[in-house]
Amino acid sequence: MPPHIVVAPMLVALGTILAVLGLRSARAAQRAVSVLGGAVYAAVVGLLTWRVMLSPAEPTPLVYQIGGWPAPFGITLVADALAVFMLVIAAVVTLSAVAFSVRFIDEQNQRVFYHPLFHCLLLGVTGAFLTGDLFNLFVWFEVMLMASYVFVAFYGEAPHTAAAFRYLVLNVIGSAVMLLAIGGLYATTGTLNMADMSRRLAAPAAYGVDVAPVVGLSALLFVTFALKAGLVPFQFWVPAAYRSAPLPIAAMLAGVTKKVGVYAVVRLYFVVFAGASLPTEFGPISGNSPLAFLAPVLFAMGAASIVVGGFGAIGQSRLDGVFAYSSVGQVGFIVLPVSFAAAAQSASFRRLALAAALVYALHHALTKSLLFLSTAAVRGAAGTTNISRLGGLAAFSPALGGVFLIGCVSIIGVPPLTGFFGKFLVFETAAARYAAAPGLVPATAIATLLAGALFTLLYASRAWVRGFWGEQTEAVATATLDRGQLSILAALALVVLAVGVGFDPVYEFAEAAAEAALDRSAYVDAVAPRGGGGQ
């Protein structure tokens, strides 16, 4: 299979954008092509995953140099195990969300701009996962964000416009900071290609690179990625944006775009900056690598996200508000093991911690998408997501109650669902960290994770008991459920079940992705940047 397949997911997303734009006057055809585009995207990602992970010929990272220009002079796309792991997450959530959108969004809004923007969002996400250079990472971030700005303001009322404006201002500031950091890194290293930058930072004397500014510049990049991921203290845009966007888009924002920030942190710190060696002394932060800066900062932000998101979710009166705040807390479960990996000296523990983070990211994407789409089905049927106006939904529709229950018990962490394995691995890394070096930090981590698990149990149980048990309210008694939406939810619930029941290959995939994130030499050798650069 030629390396050109690396660019295929981006071409599918781009081709779908053009096709649905051309079909804006043929409503049924536009919707069919949009869903077909999502299905073809999933199929292409499956082929790419097979080629990178399972091909008997040579299961290695695939590199595609656009236009035939070699790295670091041209634009490089890289599909290694980490990139395809994230693409698989994007493909599953995208196919569910676009199919659900066809049944949930009113026809007028679908015809005008919904489907082109949906696939524009997917194109930005795909480019961010595959790009091999920093400037194009910035470009694909912007493509993704431009589509999401419009979706947050989609319904056009005052709260939606206010949320979109807040989202826009914060992300424009974040983008300016990111561009400033990228410019500084280019001035420092003379290249924007990630593999070439990694190679130069690992041997600064050979390339005349001053490594000292890298810690500060990488910190600027980290602030941007933390903002995109919605980590505390940059979480305040998340609840309003998720509640304002159409619920299938909220599933995409929580399940896919939030992961782009986490992916960027892992890719840059463990591949690009990990080779740099310089003493870092700043208060309690000390070490010989930018990872020394990352570990304590990411730990504090992850722990705070778990607490703030959990408290916020418990106090919400609407299902979409519960799951919006829940996303803030759940991303803390993802980044906490990443902070363990950054602080680790053992290669095996670092791989375990990153694999735990990736498994939790997969679990969160699938489960939170199921819960947001279930909330959309509830709104479509009963006309409200206010928990006090719901009740008896399980008796009204046992099937809807069943899929919502699967989402709730998965996010709580009940075996054998994906959430159990995600939480188990995160707790295992914290326990292993404590066993290796008992102290305040690992003890705080375990206590915070237990508190986060308790918060999750409380808000998920409250949503289920008050919304789906008891007497039927007037809104539920007069509700009408869309069977097409229910079929999509059932399919996604089966995926959540299947990933949990057949977890072994999923964990092997996550381990391979973690190994790819840590094998800096393999990444550099695969891209094979030649001499030269920007200076």
As a whole number of angstroms, the distance between CA 133 and CA 78 comes to 10
What does the pLDDT read at residue 24? 83
Residue 106's pLDDT band (cuts 50, 70, 90): confident
Closest among 275, 243, 279, 250 to 121, alpha carbons compared: 250
What does the pLDDT read at residue 59? 58
The residue with greater pLDDT, 247 or 237, is: 247
Interval 437-492: pLDDT, tens: 888 888 999 999 999 999 999 999 999 999 998 888 888 888 889 999 999 999 99
What does the pLDDT read at residue 194? 95
Residue 534's pLDDT band (cuts 50, 70, 90): very low
The residue with greater pLDDT, 229 or 47, is: 47
What does the pLDDT read at residue 69? 87
Mean pLDDT for 313-342 is: 93
Residue 531's pLDDT band (cuts 50, 70, 90): low
What does the pLDDT read at residue 254? 92
Q: Helix (H, G, I), strand (E, B), or coil: what is residue 260?
A: helix
Q: What percent of the chain has pLDDT over 90?
A: 66
What does the pLDDT read at residue 288? 73
Interval 181-196: pLDDT, tens: 999 999 999 999 999 9
Residue 535's pLDDT band (cuts 50, 70, 90): very low
Mean pLDDT for 275-288 is: 69
What does the pLDDT read at residue 488? 96
Interval 413-431: pLDDT, tens: 999 898 999 999 999 999 9
Closest among 324, 502, 474, 497 to 403, alpha carbons compared: 497
Tell me: pLDDT of 532 over 60. Answer: no
In sequence order, the β-bridge partners of residue 287 are 280
As a whole number of angstroms, the distance between CA 194 and CA 494 comes to 38
The residue with greater pLDDT, 193 or 284, is: 193
Q: How many CA atoms lie within 13 A of 436 on its CB side?
A: 16
Closest among 337, 306, 322, 333 to 442, alpha carbons compared: 337
As a whole number of angstroms, the distance between CA 417 and CA 131 comes to 32
Strands annotated E in 203-323: 280-282, 285-287
Q: Helix (H, G, I), strand (E, B), or coil: what is residue 286?
A: strand
Interval 10-39: pLDDT, tens: 999 999 999 999 998 888 999 999 999 999
As a whole number of angstroms, the distance between CA 289 and CA 344 comes to 12
CA distances from 282 to 212, 279, 288, 292, 357 (A): 13, 10, 12, 10, 27
